[in-house]
């Protein structure tokens, strides 16, 4: 096959891909467009994870950052910050996060009179936990040694941070559901509070010496990508009852 024909075929393929995901103003996305977005998120998620692993094994920004950050943590332990990190450690664990999500999901189901919030949260939790277990078991990155006098690190492997990944995925999808199901006026407040909680969760894992910085960064990105995938699927494929709008002050009563 000539070089010209190969280039023509490649250009045709790229045009088909472009037309399948390109959004036009006022047009509802098609299923193929949504699938391309999800595919892009998943590819980006695993590409960055692979780049971090390469950096850890052969040298690079992740390896250069992890050890100095751990030494800094060992030299800057404060009892008050340790207590806060211990508290976040519990709320990010399986019992704590389960309790948080049961309360949030129960409120969402009660407010919407629907089981779709429960289905979305359960699906998010199932895959995020599965991702955590599979990545830890296959990548087998050893943990740091913890901090003197602090809680011992778990016996599982380090990469990625399960607390951070699951907090990002679950709190992220719960925040999205709260916004689309009626709390849109508080979107910035919800996003800010959720972001602070998730970042604090990740920082606590580093401060307790249970995870490297690279574990937390990748956990954040994988959790965010998975929450985005579930949010996209929910937004375009789950039916939602329209929120009744209040009549304007100047409108006449019938």
Half-sphere exposure of 42 toward its Cβ, with a 13 Å CA cutoff? 12
Examine residue 117 and state whether it is found in any structural domain, yes or no: yes
For 19-75, write each residue's pLDDT tens digit: 444 444 444 555 566 666 767 777 777 777 777 766 666 666 666 788 889 999 998
Neighbouring residues of 230: CB distance < 8 A, sequence distance ≥ 6: 120, 123, 124, 169, 173
Distance linking the first and last C-alpha atoms of the chain: 73
For 125-148, write each residue's pLDDT tens digit: 999 999 999 989 988 888 998 888
Tokens of 104: 């949030």
Query: Distance between CA 83 and CA 81 in Å, rounded?
Result: 5
Examine residue 150 and state whether it is found in any structural domain, yes or no: yes
Residue 101 belongs to what domain range? 36-237
Tokens of 47: 């590409």
Query: Distance between CA 46 and CA 60 in Å, rounded?
Result: 18
- Quick one: which of 154, 160, 163 has its CA closest to 94? 163
Tokens of 99: 């309790």
Query: Distance between CA 52 and CA 58 in Å, rounded?
Result: 10
Examine residue 25 and state whether it is found in any structural domain, yes or no: no
Examine residue 170 and state whether it is found in any structural domain, yes or no: yes
Helices (H), the chain: 3-21, 31-58, 61-75, 79-92, 94-112, 116-139, 162-180, 187-207, 213-237
Do 229 and 123 touch, CB atoms closer than 8 A?
no
Reported pTM:
0.76
Examine residue 180 and state whether it is found in any structural domain, yes or no: yes
Q: What is the mean pLDDT of residues 1-17?
A: 55
Tokens of 154: 């778990």
Query: Distance between CA 34 and CA 201 in Å, rounded?
Result: 31
Query: Distance between CA 54 and CA 191 in Å, rounded?
Result: 33
Q: What is the mean pLDDT of residues 138-163?
A: 86
Examine residue 23 and state whether it is found in any structural domain, yes or no: no
Per the prediction, the chain carries an average pLDDT of: 80
Examine residue 244 and state whether it is found in any structural domain, yes or no: no
Examine residue 6 and state whether it is found in any structural domain, yes or no: no
Do 228 and 44 touch, CB atoms closer than 8 A?
no
Tell me 150's DSSP state.
S
Name the pLDDT band for 235 (thresholds 50, 70, 90).
Answer: confident
Q: What is the mean pLDDT of residues 142-155?
A: 85
The share of the chain scoring above pLDDT 90, in percent, equals: 32
* Total number of domains constituting the chain: 1
Angle at 66 between CA 156 and CA 43, to 5 degrees: 75
Roughly what angle, to the nearest 10 degrees, separates helices 187-207 and 79-92? Answer: 110
Which pLDDT score is estimated for 184?
83
């Amino acid at each position: 096959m000539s070089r010209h024909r190969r280039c023509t075929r490649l250009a045709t393929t790229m045009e088909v891909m472009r037309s399948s995901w390109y959004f036009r103003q006022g047009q509802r996305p098609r299923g193929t467009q949504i699938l391309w977005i999800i595919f892009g998120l998943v590819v980006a998620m695993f590409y960055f994870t692979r780049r971090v692993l390469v950096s850890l094994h052969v040298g690079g920004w992740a390896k250069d950052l992890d050890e100095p950050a751990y030494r800094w943590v060992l030299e800057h332990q404060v009892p008050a910050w340790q207590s806060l990190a211990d508290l976040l450690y519990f709320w990010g664990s399986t019992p704590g996060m389960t309790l948080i999500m049961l309360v949030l999901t129960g409120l969402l189901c009660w407010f919407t009179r629907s089981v779709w919030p429960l289905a979305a949260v359960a699906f998010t939790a199932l895959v995020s936990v599965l991702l955590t277990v599979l990545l830890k078991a296959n990548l087998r990155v050893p943990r740091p040694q913890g901090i003197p006098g602090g809680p011992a690190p778990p016996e599982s492997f380090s990469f990625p941070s399960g607390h951070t990944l699951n907090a990002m995925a679950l709190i992220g999808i719960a925040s999205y559901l709260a916004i689309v199901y009626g709390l849109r006026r508080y979107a910035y407040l919800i996003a800010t509070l959720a972001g602070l909680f998730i970042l604090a969760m990740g920082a606590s894992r580093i401060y307790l010496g249970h995870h490297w910085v690279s574990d937390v960064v990748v956990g954040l990105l994988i959790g965010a990508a998975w929450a985005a995938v579930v949010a996209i699927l929910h937004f375009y494929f789950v039916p939602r009852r329209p929120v009744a709008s209040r009549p304007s002050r100047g409108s006449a009563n019938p």
